[in-house]
Structure 1
Amino acid sequence: MPYVVQPGDTLLRIARTFNVNTEALLAANPGLHAARPLFPGLLLSVPAQTAFIYRVQSGDALLGIAGKFGLSLQALLQANRHQDLKKLLPGLLLTIPCPDSGRIVDGRAEYGQRELAADAEALLKAYPFLQVERIGASVMGKPIIAVRLGDGPAKVHVNAGMHANEWITTPLLMTFLEDAAKAASFGQKLCGVDMRSLLQQVTLWAVPLVNPDGAELVQEGLRPDHPHAQELLRWNRGSDRFQRWKANIRGVDLNDQFPAFWEEEQARRDADGPGPRDYPGPHPLSEPEAVALAEFTAEQQFDLAVALHTQGQEIYWNYRGYEPVDAERIARRLARESGYKPVKLTGSDAGYKDWFILQYRKPGYTVEVGYGLNPLPIEAFPDLNDEVRPLLVAALEAAASLVL
């Protein structure tokens, strides 16, 4: 089928929309290249891919095959009604229909402001007990939203997507919100925990995408008509490759923006101006994204905060001795649940976690999700989700125990 490329489209986004894989999309459009951005107005051919083929293995059973691919037995039988499946012989070719996941949040492709806005609206319709608020705007005017789940006295904050090339933390946090809301709505457990009961003890305020402008730049590349095109090219040393960009659209590292020994961080970084990373800005809270997060934190007075970053599979829990006595104990619990390593960090200032601990003397954590080179590959999403989900459940439980 034909498809006209829209602004913001990428190969992965188109593949996700039509439930095809990128290899099939590239094969159907020989002129495309996976490493090059798509231009709006380009006419693509999208291959139909509503099913694939599975060769029966020795020991297979129909119910096991259905479970392996997330299908009901009826759906598998319907797709192979032309075959006699009373005897399932090794080597038999079965048609496996592509299942509808039934999920709202889909982490199979780039995830930015467009996906976040649509998913937040859909989650609100599905789970009306959620609350969505706009807490500020980015340099380019994109809304920074917060999502509330639960109504308990213990208040937890989790933020994600602060560094542009760490945008995968945004769908991870949104996926957790969907899973937790669903479990609470249906009276189910998540990671063995009764979420309905837990969310009567805890209020979670999540800010899934702190840096929407930077995430867009990393995911979609630099358009010629971008209002900051010339500056961004200069700050990126003339390169039009922005996959490694961490900063906001003004070349400021948002996690070096908070008033926690900012001057020492500035001296340590020794950055001569805006760039892809490590420039803390002209002064603390010079950037609207950091201001929005700081003001929201001051307004809500959270009992515990978690900042999701990538990568390293580590949990940073201290700050210059200002952390409360429970901080390390909670960090070790989060580590047990995720398989990550709790680390007592030195030589780092001006981060959100640093400021939260310094300002409020409450437990604050930077979680470095996954392992590898940023941006982490989207293929790692299921594994990362398995690591993050129990960690966040444990963080909610820890906060509940603090206010009992």
Structure 2
Amino acid sequence: MELQWIIVKTGDTLPRIASAYRMTNALLCALNPEATAQPYLLAGQMLRVMPGTGRRYAVPPGETVQETAERFALSEEQLRESNPEISKVKDWGGCCINIPQAGGKTIVNIEGEYGYRELIRDIQRLEARYSCVKSGEIGTSVMGKTLPYVRIGHGPRHIHVNASVHANEWLTTPVLMRFIEEYAEAYSLDSLWHSYDPQRWMQETTLWAVPMVNPDGVELVQEGVVNHHKYASELLAWNGGRPHFTHWKANIRGVDLNDQFPAHWDEEVARRSVFSPGPRDYAGTAPLTEPEAQALAQWTQEHAFAAVVSLHSQGQEIYWNYRDLEPRESAPLSRKLAKASGYKAIKLGGSDAGYKDWFIQAFGKPGFTVEVGLGVNPLPVEQFDDICVEVGMLLAELLSHGEREAGASG
């Protein structure tokens, strides 16, 4: 493969470019050491790329195309589509072929990073493919991005799940979206999702997801304040002059959205002792000053949710209580969710003003903060598949909880 030059566009990042050109991050960085030294890419700068072909495989004599496909957990159709120059040849023995990624037909994938544009694109694709998936919006962010919701199911029991409340916890968004895709696919095929029945979920529950509560913050973490960012000077000042924002949790005004809810907000402010905008822990000047928190609170008030889940990272823990205001079912339900996911149910103290805190206080229904994965935020994308399984099993158990309770009482 020959070395090529490309021009960086707004929104490009090194992981996204590496993914697009089927290169490793290490190779892209080695070819562009000056770009690697920058905190973020600048629109208009030029990068060296060496497009790759991904995995290659030398087909041994006598191995059929179907056997090759099965070896790599692919369909024969997928394999032939990835090798158009020999797609109609019957015997591939002795050929060197391209091996696409397994699950290449799934809509929700991480192509380097997963941000707001990827989310909007995937919602549109899911709606186009699956009639059971519907979307809308709950409001807008500080910078005017719509805050989309995704709905699946039409049952009387309503469940809500949100993700990416904290900016550098953006991996929670594709995790939630992947579960919705797998649910929709299993339902459309009239098949089980693992041992669970999506047909019953559809009839008995309605799942409302807000996959990215903090899109401005996610964009900041991934793309920085280069390319004429509207709040560049303020953000750099709030960040102590540091040009990197990978540690940023707050929204674009430096307010931590999970400290914004009217549940003993004053005590949380006193505990945090952070009184000005910054990367984390600043609760604002009052509860619900930020449009993202306002939208989520108002939207929650408009729905009679039986339970809510807020996905965060990291720790593999489930927080289920709030000042002894949670209903009696919360503790045993948290243990069921822990067993399904492999996470640990934790009774947490000394924390206020979070979304699940406010929900428990205001509605007296089960609310859960789920800390997915292990490590440092943003979590490495290599954890994506494992976290999808863990969170998927947790949500499946939650969606099935109502039907089991009904069955037990009947």
Normalised TM-score (structure 1): 0.90
3-state SS of the aligned residue for 1:199?
Answer: helix
Whether 1:117 and 2:120 are equivalent positions in the alignment is yes
AA partner of residue 361 (structure 1)? G
Moved more, 198-207 or 124-133: 124-133
Q: Tell me how far apart the structure 1 counterparts of residues 391 and 96 of structure 2 sit (CA, whole Å).
A: 35
AA partner of residue 211 (structure 1)? N
Counterpart of 1:345 (choices 348, 358, 375) is 348
Q: 1:206 to 1:392 in 2, by over 3 A?
A: same
Counterpart of 1:292 (choices 285, 288, 295) is 295
Moved more, 116-125 or 65-74: 65-74
The percent of aligned pairs where both chains have the same amino acid is 48
AA partner of residue 97 (structure 1)? I
Partner of 1:312: 315
What runs of 5+ residues in structure 2 fail to find an aligned partner? none
Q: Tell me how far apart the structure 2 counterparts of residues 82 and 132 of structure 1 sit (CA, whole Å).
A: 44
Q: Deviations over 1:110-154 (max 9, x none)?
A: 211111111111111111221111110111111101110000011
Partner of 2:333: 330
Counterpart of 1:277 (choices 277, 280, 285) is 280
Pairing 1:99-138 to 2, within 5 Å after superposition: 99=101, 101-138=104-141
Partner of 1:188: 191
Counterpart of 1:394 (choices 394, 397, 408) is 397
Q: 1:270 to 1:399 in 2, by over 3 A?
A: farther
3-state SS of the aligned residue for 2:349?
Answer: coil
Q: Tell me how far apart the structure 2 counterparts of residues 61 and 372 of structure 1 sit (CA, whole Å).
A: 42
Moved more, 186-195 or 166-175: 186-195
Deviation at 1:210, TM superposition (A): 0.2
Partner of 1:361: 364
Partner of 1:98: 100
Whether 1:141 and 2:144 are equivalent positions in the alignment is yes
Whether 1:303 and 2:306 are equivalent positions in the alignment is yes
Moved more, 93-102 or 108-117: 93-102
What runs of 5+ residues in structure 1 fail to find an aligned partner? 86-91
Q: 1:84 to 1:364 in 2, by over 3 A?
A: closer
Deviation at 1:56, TM superposition (A): 9.1
Whether 1:266 and 2:269 are equivalent positions in the alignment is yes
Deviation at 1:83, TM superposition (A): 8.4
Partner of 1:41: 44
Partner of 1:231: 234
Q: Tell me, yes or no, if the aligned pair for 1:4 and 1:40 is still in contact at 8 Å.
A: yes
Q: Deviations over 1:277-296 (max 9, x none)?
A: 00111000010000000011
Deviation at 1:233, TM superposition (A): 1.1
Q: Tell me, yes or no, if the aligned pair for 1:323 and 1:362 is still in contact at 8 Å.
A: yes
Deviation at 1:27, TM superposition (A): 4.9
Deviation at 1:185, TM superposition (A): 1.0
3-state SS of the aligned residue for 2:263?
Answer: coil
Partner of 2:173: 170
Q: Deviations over 1:360-388 (max 9, x none)?
A: 10010000001111111112111211211
Deviation at 1:84, TM superposition (A): 7.9
Q: Compute the RMSD of aligned alpha carbons.
A: 2.6
Q: Tell me how far apart the structure 2 counterparts of residues 332 and 61 of structure 1 sit (CA, whole Å).
A: 48
Q: Tell me how far apart the structure 2 counterparts of residues 73 and 114 of structure 1 sit (CA, whole Å).
A: 31
Deviation at 1:400, TM superposition (A): 4.1
Moved more, 190-199 or 26-35: 26-35
Partner of 1:88: none
Q: Tell me, yes or no, if the aligned pair for 1:318 and 1:344 is still in contact at 8 Å.
A: yes
Deviation at 1:108, TM superposition (A): 3.9
Q: Tell me how far apart the structure 1 counterparts of residues 406 and 155 of structure 2 sit (CA, whole Å).
A: 10
Q: Tell me how far apart the structure 2 counterparts of residues 122 and 3 of structure 1 sit (CA, whole Å).
A: 28
Q: Deviations over 1:23-79 (max 9, x none)?
A: 34345556542764222123344433335335899xx99877643523335738968
Q: Tell me how far apart the structure 1 counterparts of residues 198 and 174 of structure 2 sit (CA, whole Å).
A: 20
Q: Tell me how far apart the structure 2 counterparts of residues 35 and 82 of structure 1 sit (CA, whole Å).
A: 49
AA partner of residue 110 (structure 2)? G
Q: Tell me how far apart the structure 2 counterparts of residues 254 and 84 of structure 1 sit (CA, whole Å).
A: 55
Deviation at 1:16, TM superposition (A): 2.9
Q: Tell me how far apart the structure 2 counterparts of residues 201 and 84 of structure 1 sit (CA, whole Å).
A: 49
Deviation at 1:251, TM superposition (A): 0.6
Q: Tell me, yes or no, if the aligned pair for 2:260 and 2:287 is still in contact at 8 Å.
A: yes
Partner of 1:17: 20
Q: Tell me how far apart the structure 1 counterparts of residues 187 and 91 of structure 2 sit (CA, whole Å).
A: 42
Moved more, 332-341 or 100-109: 100-109
Q: 1:359 to 1:15 in 2, by over 3 A?
A: same
Moved more, 132-141 or 35-44: 35-44
Q: Tell me how far apart the structure 2 counterparts of residues 20 and 48 of structure 1 sit (CA, whole Å).
A: 6
Q: 1:400 to 1:253 in 2, by over 3 A?
A: farther
AA partner of residue 298 (structure 1)? Q
Whether 1:217 and 2:206 are equivalent positions in the alignment is no
Q: 1:25 to 1:224 in 2, by over 3 A?
A: closer
Q: Tell me how far apart the structure 1 counterparts of residues 277 and 344 of structure 2 sit (CA, whole Å).
A: 32
Q: Tell me, yes or no, if the aligned pair for 1:53 and 1:93 is still in contact at 8 Å.
A: no
Partner of 2:245: 242
- Matched residues, number: 396
Q: Tell me, yes or no, if the aligned pair for 1:108 and 1:378 is still in contact at 8 Å.
A: no
Q: Tell me, yes or no, if the aligned pair for 1:156 and 1:204 is still in contact at 8 Å.
A: yes
